[in-house]
Structure 1
């Protein structure tokens, strides 16, 4: 702790400590308390601070003759002022260290606030994404020339499954809207198919079920002249042709 004072202040404290063992004990107690506080709070104290204190006190033990009880005099010869000055210096030292800990706690509070602001930014980004999805959904539903195909689960596969395909020949766009569909088993994916006049299913890509309960329109590849849509359960990555149909429009 003495290392936090100026050289002149440190010398005066050393003189007081040499003459008054109770002040030396107080310094030791202050060091112990501050060390315990720093450990409890996880505050990194200066690496050389305890060593400086110990070396100072060990030096004082060697310099003061055994049995010496005469307090050092000041230049003016007024003996009692030195312990008072020592008390004031120790008080100032305690205040400086208290300020150091307070500054560290303020830094911790600042770090916590920054973390909360970052989380708030993430939440705002998620809300922004949801709003953009809603705007897209409304635009799709209001588009001129839009057709809606409702796919339902097959009775022996997913009887409660429901999904819509919004198909627009004018804009040449298609969107998939999952209403109710259980997650696929591990290692498998759902795949969307479009069937035209030829009757041959054409892949419109595999898709993942969106997370959350919000509106999620999934853009899918556009195929011309499609009149029927279907969903099959395939190995991850999809198949050239459907092998396990779970949903179909009609």
Structure 2
């Protein structure tokens, strides 16, 4: 930067006279702090301006001072005898401090009590919520159990109604089967309708079987066994067990033990009962 040209530009005179913009003022102040020549020139201009002002100053007349003092009333106002004198009351700082501390402790105690009550109430609500959830779960379980029992009772009722309808139909034949030496206490009834060809059994007493085994009924036609369906060792809650086979002819009925689901041919070694159909 050419300092000489900057000083000769007249910007410093304008700065001293206060005729520069904010940006120019900041520029002059910044450069004067960097360049000593600019700082020196700026100081000289300031001193010259001050000397010029003092040289051409005019002292005002003495009458102006008197007029100003008369217009300004600096006299102390007179106190009236009857005006009461108000003096501040002394303040006991110890009492005030004690009162403030007591108030703070009281406020804190109240806030702590409220917080404790809210916390206890929250625990109470949480406990009630958990209790209600357990009650709801137990109620739901009970409801599901009742619905299952109702469905079971409805199914049993339907089976009973169907069994009674079967027993009331004309053409029904009843065959009693007694267990042999493999099931001496075994006894059951076979209901066969010669017109509708439906078959049902009423198990009175038969030995329990493993889960993978079932009893199977056979109708004997001209000495040949015909699959009449499988059944369980007990009737359960049903009156009868209806079999899913249609039997057109039967000279006799026999019972064997087979794998669950039945067998196309009887296992003679597991034969438990055999009874002929009376004509």
* Residue equivalent to 1:86: 112
Query: How far 1:171 moved relative to its partner?
Result: 1.4
Give TM-score scaled by structure 2 length: 0.55
Q: For residues 118 and 94 of structure 1, do their structure 2 counterparts lie closer, same or farther at Cα, with a shift above 3 Å needed? A: same
Query: How far 1:217 moved relative to its partner?
Result: 1.9
Q: Report the Cα distance in structure 2 between the residues aligned to 1:111 and 1:96, rounded to whole angstroms.
A: 22
* Residue equivalent to 2:241: 217
Count of residue pairs brought into register by the alignment: 177
Query: How far 1:233 moved relative to its partner?
Result: 2.8
On the 8 A contact 1:206/1:238 being kept in 2, the answer is no
Root mean square deviation, CA, Å: 2.8
CA offset digits 1:30-62 (Å, max 9, x no partner): xxxxxxxxxxxxxxxxxxxxxxxxxxxxxxxxx
On the 8 A contact 1:162/1:181 being kept in 2, the answer is yes
Larger radius of gyration: 2
* Residue equivalent to 2:198: 173
Give TM-score scaled by structure 1 length: 0.61
Q: 2:140 aligns with which of 114, 126, 145?
A: 114
Q: Report the Cα distance in structure 2 between the residues aligned to 1:126 and 1:165, rounded to whole angstroms.
A: 24
Q: Report the Cα distance in structure 1 between the residues aligned to 2:257 and 2:135, rounded to whole angstroms.
A: 51
1:182 paired with 2:207, answer yes
Q: For residues 249 and 111 of structure 1, do their structure 2 counterparts lie closer, same or farther at Cα, with a shift above 3 Å needed? A: same
Gaps of 5+ in 2: 1-96
Which portions of structure 1, spanning 4 or more consecutive aligned residues, are displaced by more than 6 angstroms?
Answer: none
On the 8 A contact 1:176/1:220 being kept in 2, the answer is no
Gaps of 5+ in 1: 1-69
Q: 1:99 aligns with which of 106, 114, 125?
A: 125
Query: How far 1:170 moved relative to its partner?
Result: 1.6
Q: Report the Cα distance in structure 1 between the residues aligned to 2:128 and 2:103, rounded to whole angstroms.
A: 37
Q: Report the Cα distance in structure 2 between the residues aligned to 1:239 and 1:92, rounded to whole angstroms.
A: 76
Query: How far 1:211 moved relative to its partner?
Result: 5.8
* Residue equivalent to 1:137: 163
Q: Report the Cα distance in structure 1 between the residues aligned to 2:119 and 2:213, rounded to whole angstroms.
A: 69
Query: How far 1:139 moved relative to its partner?
Result: 0.8
Q: List aligned pairs for 1:7-46, cutoff 5 A.
A: none
Q: For residues 148 and 87 of structure 1, do their structure 2 counterparts lie closer, same or farther at Cα, with a shift above 3 Å needed? A: same
1:195 paired with 2:220, answer yes
Q: List aligned pairs for 1:158-169, cutoff 5 A.
A: 158-169=183-194
